[in-house]
Structure 1
């Protein structure tokens, strides 16, 4: 049963908001060799596709709520959270088994790539507590507060999803 007390979730929100980026950073330093496999190169296009699907679903979720379809909105948002978790697992597995690919572009494009990459990374960390708080506010029936923070969460999450695809497209020739 879901509690209507959002304060009980606050500890979990902050634990996850700190633990997820910290664990990803730690796991980046761990390399697990897989005998006979140089790298899991099939994963980046899969998790880039997950980012693209998430971006599309985020937009569809907003459309659904604006139409008053709360159940569809809720289902789509839960799917987005699930896809983001799946992305995270695949991303960590890839980086635990493969070395990072250096970007090979030159000139202005290189600076554009690094700008998008850095903002993507920073905002992917920043969006975690926003998504969790937004979700908890909906879960606990605080719809006015949910709506208020969702207006901040949505563009950040959408940027993270879209920029993840852009980063993949820009670096994919160098895999």
Structure 2
């Protein structure tokens, strides 16, 4: 009886986890930008909802709705892009204060709407010196089977624009 249960459990678990599927390899898009402020200052904007709120204030995105959470791991947000005709929903999956790393997983919209099966965005804030840091933004994604010819992919331009926005905001704030 136990062997039958174990076999059934592993078959069901394997199907659930996609063992029988052939997952597509992740592709990566990366942007790096040096900022002339301490990494801890940059991290304070990136670590929770601050980045998205700043993007709305500076008219880089139209709006942000928090669907679940308060800015920590597990928070789900819906971002509406300008001019307001498309949106993207993501979940904060990792916020590591020691490594200054934040990871989000796309749930709906952006390249997921045009043929990607996975979209993961990772932000790393690295200290370069006491008054200088690097914002590394990376998008990892996979294309669904049958969509390879269309070559769907997310745009690195928005995360690059977010990094530039943070750079301008913080450097101008420090010189004010």
The TM-score, its normalising length taken from structure 1, stands at: 0.29
Greater Rg by CA: 2
Larger relative contact order, structure 1 or 2 (CA cutoff 8 Å, min sep 6): 1
Flag the structure with higher helix content: 1
